[in-house]
């Protein structure tokens, strides 16, 4: 379809432009308005809470929390509290629990942050005229969500939205990893890897200590129960450490090369100006290197969370 001002090119298949009276909701990309289908509830601005109602994702996210809390239980009640060395228990307990809180906070921020969704249904004639495109300039429309597709955006079949700089959809965080939440996903993988390594170290120390003395003196639980809890914790820690360490390294490599996983797999040639190494890290984490890069609470406002209590649910995601 072509006009004197611009050409519209559909992706995958051709769809007619939505008419002015069609039942769609439009929004400004610059304003960051979250827009959904007829079953989605939304508000303008940054006061949005993003949540994907996907059964598999919600189960995986719940399992993540359960496994982290299980690790906290074993570390605190099986290994640290019965220990005779007060400072050993205090320092290790403070370190492990701090990292666990930061890991869960990073998980929540990744799951509940809009990853960079393109407004759904904004491929209207009026909206394209407002873009004031140059003659001959080509724009792309996603036929699945009827939205104008920005550069480096890809459609997610689970989120049912086009996501800017989409890296992949992760069921463990029940969300896409994209332009706006990649930082929190990197922190999540980092803190999970840290608590997994810490749990393995504590388990080794506990086994070594209990072999030299009676098992009854090492834990308030029976020897059989203690051993089973520790074995399961070690298996969980090895699995999580391997997975998250690899994922953390992959994400850092992608950020430093300014290339998402989808772009790498599709071998897409960059048509954008790459921000590599520290420029890429600054773009994702914001500002020059500082301890704030490791803080998942940065930018979190209590007032924004309180406003979320007035939201309603519906559709594949709900926002407030």
C-beta separation of 285 from 182 below 8 A? no
Asked if pLDDT for residue 264 goes beyond 50, the answer is yes
pLDDT over 70 for what percent of the chain?
A: 77
Instruction: Say whether pLDDT at 88 is over 70.
Output: yes
The pLDDT score that the predictor gives to residue 296 is: 93
pLDDT on residue 151: 82
Taking the C-alpha atoms of residue 73 and residue 71, their distance in angstroms, rounded to an integer, is 5
Q: If you average pLDDT over each of 36-40, 65-69, 86-90, which comes out highest?
A: 65-69
Would you say residue 27 has pLDDT above 50?
A: no
Separation of alpha carbons 227 and 207, rounded Å: 9
Q: Could you tell me what percent of the chain has a pLDDT over 90?
A: 40
* Residue 207, both tokens: 């086994």
The whole-number average pLDDT for the span 148-166 is: 88
Q: What is the pLDDT of residues 280-305, one digit of tens each?
A: 888 888 878 888 889 999 877 655 55
Q: Is the pTM of this model over 0.75?
A: yes
> Given a cut of 80, is residue 310 above it in pLDDT?
no
Of the ranges 70-74, 145-149, 212-216, 259-263, the best mean pLDDT one: 70-74
Q: Of the given ranges (33-42, 66-75, 202-211, 309-318), which has the lowest mean pLDDT?
A: 33-42
Q: Give CA–CA dist 175/149, Å, rounded.
A: 19
pLDDT range class, residue 240, cuts 50, 70, 90: very high
Pair of tokens at residue 179: 């332009």
CA atoms of 316 and 57, how far apart (whole Å): 12
Within 10 A of 28 (CB to CB), how many other CB atoms are there? 13
Residue tagged active-site, from 146, 159, 170, 218: 170
The answer to whether residue 170 is catalytic is yes
Answer whether 175's CB lies under 8 Å from 106's CB.
no
Separation in Å, CA 90 to CA 77, 94, 295: 13, 6, 23
Q: Of the ranges 8-12, 122-126, 274-278, which one carries the lowest mean pLDDT score?
A: 8-12
Mean pLDDT of 188-195: 97
Return d(Cα 218, Cα 84) in angstroms, integer.
9
Instruction: Give alpha helix (H) positions in 258-316.
Output: 261-265, 278-285, 302-307
Helix (H) or strand (E) holding 170, with range, is strand 168-170
Burial 140-175 (b: 16+ CB within 10 A, else e): bbbbbbbbbbeebbbbbeebbbbbbbbbbbbbbbbb
- CB–CB of 78/229 below 8 Å? yes
Helix residue ranges per DSSP H, the chain: 55-73, 86-112, 125-130, 182-212, 215-218, 223-257, 261-265, 278-285, 302-307
Most confident of the following: 99-103, 143-147, 159-163, 266-270: 99-103
Tell me which DSSP letter residue 23 carries.
S
Domain locations in the chain? 55-116+167-297
Which residues 6+ apart lie within 8 Å of 168 measured at CB?
A: 176, 177, 260, 261, 262
Please tell me the predicted confidence (pLDDT) of residue 244. 96
For the chain, the straight-line distance linking the first and the last C-alpha, in angstroms and rounded, comes to: 36
Contacts of 179 (CB under 8 A, 6+ apart): 115, 116, 163, 164, 165
């Amino acid at each position: 379809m072509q006009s004197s001002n611009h050409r519209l090119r559909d992706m995958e298949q051709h769809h007619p432009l939505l008419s002015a009276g069609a039942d769609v909701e439009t929004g400004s990309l610059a304003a960051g308005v979250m827009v959904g289908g007829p079953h989605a509830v939304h508000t303008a601005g940054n006061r949005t809470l993003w949540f994907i109602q996907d059964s598999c994702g919600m189960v995986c996210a719940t399992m993540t929390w359960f496994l982290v809390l299980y690790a906290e239980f074993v570390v605190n009640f099986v290994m640290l509290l019965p220990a005779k060395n007060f400072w050993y228990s205090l320092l290790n307990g403070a370190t492990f629990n701090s990292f666990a809180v930061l890991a869960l906070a990073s998980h929540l921020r990744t799951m509940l942050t809009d990853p960079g969704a393109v407004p759904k249904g904004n491929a209207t004639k009026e909206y394209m005229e407002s873009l004031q495109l140059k003659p001959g300039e080509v724009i792309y429309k996603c036929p699945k969500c009827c939205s104008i597709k920005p550069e480096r955006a890809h459609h997610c079949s689970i989120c049912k939205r086009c996501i800017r700089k989409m890296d992949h959809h992760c069921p463990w965080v029940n969300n896409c990893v994209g332009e706006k939440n990649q930082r929190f996903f990197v922190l999540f993988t980092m803190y999970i890897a840290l608590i997994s390594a810490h749990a393995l170290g504590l388990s080794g120390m506990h086994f070594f200590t209990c072999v030299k003395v009676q098992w009854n003196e090492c834990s308030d639980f029976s020897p059989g129960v203690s051993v089973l809890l520790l074995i399961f914790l070690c298996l969980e820690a090895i699995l999580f450490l391997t997975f998250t360490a690899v994922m953390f390294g992959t994400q850092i490599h992608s950020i430093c090369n300014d290339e998402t996983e989808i772009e790498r797999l599709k071998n897409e040639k960059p048509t954008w100006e790459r921000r590599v190494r520290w420029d890429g890290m600054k773009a994702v984490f914001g500002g020059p290197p500082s301890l704030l890069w490791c803080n998942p609470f940065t930018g979190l406002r209590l007032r924004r969370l309180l406003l979320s209590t007035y939201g309603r649910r519906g559709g594949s995601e709900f926002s407030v």
